[in-house]
Amino acid sequence: MNNLEDWKLHYLEYCKIQRNLADLTLKAYQRDLDLFISFHKKNHNNTLVNEITDRHISDFLIDQFSNNISAKSLARYRSSINNLFNYILNNKGIESNPVELVNTPKIRNKLPEVLDVDTLNRLLDIPLESDIAIRDKSIIELFYSSGLRLSELSNIKWHEIDFQQSLVTVLGKGNKQRVVPVGNKALDALKEWMPLSKIWDTDRSGYVFISNRGSQLKQRSIQARIKHWAMHMGLWERVYPHLLRHSFASHVLESSGNLRAVQEMLGHADISTTQIYTHLNFQHLAKVYDKTHPRAKKKR
């Protein structure tokens, strides 16, 4: 087998079955690889893997750069192509990986945004004047209480919440299961929502968060509800599910200093992913120091 298109299909099948990657991740890989294969085929009229060099890959990345593609996206393209060629190399399709000779622009790490505790308290002070408000409050409480991803929260079922032990079991990236603590405020909000959820769940699906039409509440709807309440409660900040996850991580780390525990609760495979929150805490400490230390205050 010498055709890059055939290798791509085998690689995506491997990612799906052996690596158990999520559908969204597989689609992202496929988009990146299709873009490269299409470019290479157009410019070189073939897709033979043993004829692809580092120059061909550089030409593709340079072309994308000329179309104002960001450094982050270029790095992602390179990573996707590199993973494919590593797969081909490991399966004896080529003798070396040409991507290893290709560099991409350095990405400036952007610290995640977080909400401070006072702002979160304002957001969570939702007036429970309707069934939808009761549901939405339990959504936001659970996001902030347990640092869940949007997909994880959307797919939770009632039997996965242990009210006695204050725990929730979620299925994260790569279909990896983890158990996460749930705070008392979130548990109280869920208990208030539960009887309404059972009534709304006409399909008896068992999902925790149900739309008023009786079906599982979709991820886009959850995003829209959070945005609605941020505006309704007078917040100027752009509020979205991952911002609540960032805030959870930052606040727990700030209080406990236990990076490993935060890693486990977030479901990060690599602790280096979690370490970005330590930079946030150092940034916070630096601000406090500059404002309060007599020898640090700047003269006006």
CA-CA distances (angstroms) from residue 3 to 9, 47, 51, 249?
10, 6, 10, 45
Distance (Å, whole) CA 1 – CA 10? 11
Sheet holding 167-171, edge to edge: 161-162, 167-171, 177-181
Q: Which two tokens stand for residue 279?
A: 């930079």
Residue 260 annotated to the active site: no
Instruction: Please indicate whether residue 56 is annotated as part of the active site.
Output: no
Helix or strand or coil: residue 20?
Answer: coil
Task: Give dist(CA 281, CA 252) in Å, integer.
Answer: 11
Q: Is 77 a catalytic residue?
A: no
- The torsion region of residue 257 among left (phi > 0), alpha (psi -120 to 50) and beta comes to left
Question: Does the active-site annotation cover 108?
Answer: no
Helix/strand/coil for 230: helix
Candidate list 10, 76, 122, 173, residue with the active-site label: 173
Q: Pick the catalytic residue from 8, 149, 246, 251.
A: 149
- In the residue annotation, 149 being an active-site residue is answered as yes
Among 176, 242, 287, 297, the active-site one is 242
Q: Is 291 a catalytic residue?
A: no
Q: Which of 135, 225, 245, 246 is catalytic?
A: 245
Strand partners, 168: 161, 180
As annotated, the active-site residues are 149, 173, 242, 245, 268, 277
